[in-house]
Amino acid sequence: MKFSPLVQELIESFKCLPGVGGKTAQRMAFHLLERNRQGGTKLATTLNKAMENIGHCQKCRNFTEQTLCEICESPRRQQSKLLCVVENPADVIAIEQTGEFQGRYFILMGHLSPIDGIGPDDLGLDLLENELNQGQVKEVILATNPTVEGEATAHFIAEMAHSMDVNISRIAHGVPVGGELEYVDGNTLSHALTGRKNYQV
Amino acid sequence: MIDIASPQSAFLLHSRPYQEHKLLVELLTEQEGKVAAVVYAGKTAKSNKKPLLQPFFPLKVQLKGKSQLKSLQSVEADGRSIPLVGSDLYCGFYLNELLVKLLPELIPCPELFKLYHQAIQQFNLAGSNEPALRHFELSLLSELGIGLNFEQALACQSDYVSFSFDEGFSESLKGKNAYLKSDVLLLANHQFNDQNALRTAKLLMRELINQLLGNKTLNSRKLFKKEKK
């Protein structure tokens, strides 16, 4: 048996979501049709609005429907003269939740990965270079992921920023809070040892 | 019958996410050559294998399966990771990209594996990476069945020679790149002490590799260009 064309199309459309295959898509479609029409309509209008209006912030490349995102517009954050470079918008949220950081962000939307064909031009590094050239930033914090590609990206940016009058720092690597040394992998542990700090009493 | 091979040494060349908690990895293994495999990367802190599944980290792996795409049964660290930074790291990426794009899957190449290991260890030491790179490129080419017949070059009369895949070395031809014969002959013995010979080797290798790649490009080269600027 086949579904009517529109139902089929709805199911097919759900499949574009990550981790959603045929069966899940079918379940989602039936759920909306049978139990939650209102939610479905809301999803449709929001999705439509979002897809049309959301772009990238002109300064930090985060997703926003305005030209500048909220963080970039805030004068208080501008004053701190700190710029944190991260890979993904999700990283911004993670850092924001700590409440530790009061500066601005720059989002690369990925990392250098030659095999996947992602080069320096795809990460908006020209935008970052402009930003640094304007002299509004005193310190760049490289908060790319602690993977080999993340390190490569950090190094690339550090080289770029080297000639400019900015401090460059990299987030520390180490043992997670509440973790057990026994279960930490050797790589992390050796990073933690080489990057050890003086004990302040 | 479940077919689980004994543990063997391997390096990860490339990984990409697959489904929710899995990775599709390409490995260079000691016994089976280049292998593509699926691995469950784990979602809890204790089962997470992602710290291990990084490039330039000597691994011991067990592969399972009879099809082209294996599944990675176990993975363990085999020695310390080789910490590459900066241009050394870019060189490492270059090797990985070469292997991913040129080497066919599931053809045993223990010699190449050894050379790969040596090359990245060499990058980690001070000094120029170029000899190690050229050495590896030459070995990769011969592994791919493109042996350079240096006797042909020796037999040439003039000081300059050209190379083509069909004919091998010949007298320098119009419209083809010409290489200094004496430099090419140094290459035959893997001698890379001379700067000029190194340069010639680089240009020759680049021509060969570009032809092998066809219309694919090597993205890791872009990293070097930016760096020099």
Question: What distance in Å separates the CA atoms of residue A108 and residue A63, rounded to the nearest whole number?
Answer: 12
Domain membership flag for residue A44:
no
Are B70 and B91 members of one domain?
A: no
Domain membership flag for residue A185:
no
Are B123 and B187 members of one domain?
A: yes
**DSSP structure class, residue A141:** E
What is the length of chain B?
A: 229
∠ CA B144-B146-B149, nearest 5°, is: 150
Per-residue pLDDT, averaged over A64-76, amounts to: 91
Residue A9: band (very low, low, confident or very high) from pLDDT cuts 50, 70, 90 = very high
B8-39: burial string, b at 16+ Cβ within 10 Å, e else: bbbbbbbbeeeeeeebebbbbbbebbbbbbbb
% of residues, chain A, pLDDT over 90: 52
Are B91 and B14 members of one domain?
A: no
Residue A169 has pLDDT above 90, yes or no: yes
Domain membership flag for residue A175:
no
Give residue B228's pLDDT.
54
Q: Which of A50-59, A117-126, B143-152 has the lowest mean pLDDT?
A: B143-152
Are B72 and B135 members of one domain?
A: no
Domain membership flag for residue B69:
yes
Are B94 and B72 members of one domain?
A: no
Identity of the residue in B51, B56, B89 whose CB atom sits nearest the CB atom of A185: B51
Give the residue with greater pLDDT, B87 vs B11. B11
Give residue A86's pLDDT.
95
Question: What distance in Å separates the CA atoms of residue B198 and residue B144, rounded to the nearest whole number?
Answer: 22
Domain membership flag for residue A48:
no
Identity of the residue in A114, A159, A187 whose CB atom sits nearest the CB atom of B219: A114
Domain membership flag for residue B106:
yes
Chain B residue numbers with beta carbons less than 8 Å from the beta carbon of A152 are 89-90, 93, 223
Tell which of B49, B77, B105 closes a domain: B77
Q: Which domain holds residue B18?
A: 8-77
| Token pair listed for A149 | 């590609």
> CB-based contact (8 Å) between B100 and chain A?
yes
Kindly report the CATH number assigned to the domain that includes residue B71: 2.40.50.140
% of residues, chain B, pLDDT over 70: 94
Are A113 and A157 members of one domain?
A: yes
pLDDT digits (tens, 9 = 90+) for A99-116: 989 999 999 999 988 888
DSSP code string of B46-70: TT--TTTS-TT--EEEEEE-SSSEE
Residue B39 has pLDDT above 50, yes or no: yes
Distance of CA A189 to the CA centre of its chain: 26
Burial of A125 (0-12, 13-18, 19+ CB in 10 A): buried
Are B95 and B44 members of one domain?
A: no
Residue type, A108: L
Kindly report the CATH number assigned to the domain that includes residue A135: 3.40.1360.10
Give me the number of domains chain A comprises.
2
For β-strands B168-171 and A63-64, DSSP reports them as unpaired
| Token pair listed for A195 | 């990057």
Per-residue pLDDT, averaged over B11-18, amounts to: 90
Residue with tokens 């050229």: B134
Mention every residue, 6+ apart, whose C-beta is less than 8 A from residue A10.
A29, A33
Are A87 and A5 members of one domain?
A: no
Kindly report the CATH number assigned to the domain that includes residue A11: 1.10.8.420
What is the length of chain A?
A: 201
Per-residue pLDDT, averaged over A28-42, amounts to: 94
Q: Which domain holds residue A119?
A: 56-170
Domain membership flag for residue B2:
no
pLDDT digits (tens, 9 = 90+) for B181-212: 777 777 777 777 777 888 888 888 888 888 88
Residue with tokens 């490039």: B55
Q: For testing the chain B interface, which of A20, A125, A147, A148 should be mutated: the one with the most B CBs within 10 Å?
A: A148
**DSSP structure class, residue A113:** B
Residue A156 has pLDDT above 70, yes or no: yes
Question: What distance in Å separates the CA atoms of residue A152 and residue B91, rounded to the nearest whole number?
Answer: 11
Per-residue pLDDT, averaged over B152-165, amounts to: 77
Most confident of A36-45, B59-68, B218-227: A36-45
Are A21 and A67 members of one domain?
A: no
Backbone angles phi and psi of A63, in degrees to 5 = -70, 130
How close is the nearest chain B Cα to the Cα of A155, in Å?
6
Residue B4 has pLDDT above 80, yes or no: no
Are A25 and A105 members of one domain?
A: no
Identity of the residue in A120, A151, A185 whose CB atom sits nearest the CB atom of B89: A151
Give me the number of domains chain B comprises.
2
This prediction's pTM: 0.84
% of residues, chain A, pLDDT over 70: 100
pLDDT digits (tens, 9 = 90+) for B115-152: 999 898 888 887 778 888 888 888 888 888 877 777 77
| Token pair listed for A111 | 């990392």
**Which helix (H) or strand (E) is A84 found in, with range?**
strand A82-86
Please state, rounded to an integer, the average pLDDT across all residues of chain B. Answer: 83
Distances (CA, A) of B143 to A145, B2, B117: 35, 31, 16
Q: Where are the beta strands (DSSP E) in B85-191?
A: 160-164, 168-171, 179-180
What residues pair up with B169 in beta bridges, in sequence order?
A: B163
Residue B2: band (very low, low, confident or very high) from pLDDT cuts 50, 70, 90 = low
Domain membership flag for residue A197:
no
Are B71 and B90 members of one domain?
A: no
Give residue A190's pLDDT.
86
Whether the CB-CB separation of B172 and B162 falls below 8 Å is answered with yes
Give residue A56's pLDDT.
92
Are A60 and A32 members of one domain?
A: no
> CB-based contact (8 Å) between B214 and chain A?
no
Residue B5 has pLDDT above 80, yes or no: no
Are B102 and B210 members of one domain?
A: yes
Whether the CB-CB separation of B138 and B121 falls below 8 Å is answered with no
CB contacts < 8 A (A, B): 69
Are B36 and B93 members of one domain?
A: no
The closest alpha carbon to B171, from B161, B184, B186, B181, belongs to B161
The alpha carbon dihedral of B119, B120, B123, B125 has a sign of negative
pLDDT digits (tens, 9 = 90+) for A82-92: 999 999 999 99
Per-residue pLDDT, averaged over B14-19, amounts to: 87
Are A118 and A79 members of one domain?
A: yes
Q: Where are the beta strands (DSSP E) in chain B?
A: 8-18, 22-29, 33-40, 59-64, 69-77, 160-164, 168-171, 179-180
Give residue B45's pLDDT.
66
Residue B46: band (very low, low, confident or very high) from pLDDT cuts 50, 70, 90 = low
Give the residue with greater pLDDT, B168 vs B46. B168
% of residues, chain B, pLDDT over 90: 15
Domain membership flag for residue B31:
yes
Residue of B nearest to A187 (CA): B81
Taking each helix axis from N to C end, the angle separating A22-34 and A5-14, rounded to the nearest 10 degrees, works out to 120
Give residue B1's pLDDT.
47
Domain membership flag for residue B96:
yes
Question: What distance in Å separates the CA atoms of residue B183 and residue B193, rounded to the nearest whole number?
Answer: 11
Whether the CB-CB separation of B212 and B164 falls below 8 Å is answered with no
Helix (H, G, I), strand (E, B) or coil at B76: strand
Question: What distance in Å separates the CA atoms of residue A81 and residue A141, rounded to the nearest whole number?
Answer: 11
Contact call for A156 and B16, based on CB within 8 A: no
Tell which of B19, B42, B77 closes a domain: B77
Residue B171 has pLDDT above 80, yes or no: no
